[in-house]
Chain A
Amino acid sequence: MGRSMVAFGNGAKRILNSLGLSASEKAEQQPQDDTVGKTLIVLIGASHYVAIFSAAEARSLPTEPVEGGMVDLRIFNAWKHGLNYGFAVPEDGVWVLEATLKEQLTELTADYDRVIFFSVFGGNHHQVLTLIGHERPYDVYMPEFSHVPLETDAEILSRSYVEQTLLEFVIGPYRDISIFLRAFPKFEFWHIQSPPPIGDDTFVRSNIDSWFVEQMKLNSDFPLTPRYVRQKVWQIHSDLYHREGQANGFELLPCPAGTRDAEGFLKPEFYSNDATHANPAYGELVLQQMEQIAKANIDSFKTFG
Chain B
Amino acid sequence: MKHPYENQPDIARWKRSVAAVAPENLDPLKTFSFKVSASDKVATAGSCFAQHIAKRLSASGYNYYVTEAGHPLASKETREKFQYGLYSARYGNLYTVRQLLQLFREAFGERQPTETVWSLDEKFVDPLRPNVEPGGFYSDEEVQLDRRQHLAAVREMFETLDVFVFTLGLTEAWESREDGTVFPLCPGVHGGVYDEGKYAFHNFDVFETVSDLKALLEGLFSVNSNAKVILTVSPVPLVATAEDRGVLISTTYSKSVLRVACDEMKRAFPEQVEYFPSYEIITGGYSRGAYFEEDLRSVKTEGVDHVMRVFFRHVTDESSEPAVPIPDAAEESFTQKLNSMNQLICEEEMLDAASGR
Contacts and interface: CB of A to CB of B under 8 A. Distances in A.
Interface of A: 46-47, 50-51, 53-54, 57, 63, 77-80, 82-84, 124-125, 127-129, 132, 134-136, 138, 141-143, 150, 155-162, 164-165, 168-169, 209-212, 215-216, 272-274, 276-277, 302-303
Given A79-B350, A143-B141, 9 more contacts: A47-B346, A53-B357, A57-B357, A80-B356, A143-B139, A156-B146, A158-B142, A215-B340, A303-B357
A155 B346 contact: no
B337 interface: yes
B78 A209 contact: no
A227 B337 CA distance: 21
B344 A160 contact: no
B345 A211 contact: yes
A75 to B, nearest CB: 8
A209 B344 contact: yes
A83 B341 contact: no
B347 interface: yes
Interface residues of B, number: 44
Contact of A165 (B73, B343, B350): B73
B355 to A, nearest CB: 8
B133 interface: yes
Contacts of A124: 342, 345-346
Contact of B138 (A79, A150, A158, A211): A158
Contacts, number: 137
B207 interface: no
A215 B340 CA distance: 10
Given A128-B338, A136-B72, A164-B82, A141 B350 contact: no
Contact of A47 (B146, B340, B345): B345
Contacts of A165: 73-75, 78, 335
Contacts of A164: 74, 78, 81-82, 134
Given A157-B71, A164-B74, A83 B138 contact: no
A132 B346 contact: no
Contacts of A53: 353-354, 357
B80 to A, nearest CB: 11
B244 interface: no
Contact of A161 (B82, B347, B356, B357): B82
Nearest to B353: A50
B295 interface: no
B137 interface: yes
B341 A211 contact: yes
Given A54-B354, A77-B356, A80-B356, A160 B133 contact: yes
Contact of B137 (A83, A155, A158, A215): A158
Contact of B339 (A57, A128, A212, A276): A128
B346 A168 contact: no
Contacts of A63: 357
B138 A161 contact: no
B110 interface: no
B32 interface: no
24 contacts: A47-B345, A53-B353, A80-B356, A83-B343, A83-B350, A134-B72, A134-B73, A138-B71, A141-B141, A141-B142, A142-B138, A150-B145, A155-B71, A156-B142, A156-B149, A158-B133, A160-B82, A160-B135, A161-B82, A165-B74, A169-B342, A211-B348, A212-B341, A215-B340
B146 A128 contact: no
Contact of B73 (A47, A138, A160): A138
Contacts of B135: 160
Interface in B96-141: 133-139, 141
B294 interface: no
A158 B146 contact: yes
Nearest to A164: B78
Contacts of A132: 338
B71 A161 contact: yes
B196 interface: no
Pairs of residues from A and B, 8 with the lowest C-beta to C-beta distance, nearest first: A47-B346, A50-B353, A209-B348, A211-B344, A79-B354, A165-B74, A303-B357, A128-B342
Interface in B309-357: 334-335, 337-350, 352-357
Nearest to A134: B73
Given A132-B338, A215-B337, A210 B348 contact: yes
Contacts of A157: 71, 73
B338, B346, B353: most-surrounded residue (chain A CB, <10 A): B346
Given A50-B349, A156-B145, A125 B139 contact: no
Contacts of A79: 350, 354-356
Contacts of B350: 47, 50, 78-79, 83
A65 B234 CA distance: 75
Contacts of B340: 215
Contacts of B356: 77, 79-80, 303
A246 B341 CA distance: 30
Contacts of A84: 343
Interface string B139-162: 101100110010000000000000
Contacts of B72: 134, 136
Contacts of A128: 338-339, 341-342, 345
B182 to A, nearest CB: 24
Contacts of A54: 353-354
Contacts of B137: 158-160
Given A160-B138, A161-B82, A165-B78, A83 B346 contact: yes
A135 B355 CA distance: 38
A77 to B, nearest CB: 5
B138 to A, nearest CB: 5
Contacts of A215: 337, 340-341, 344
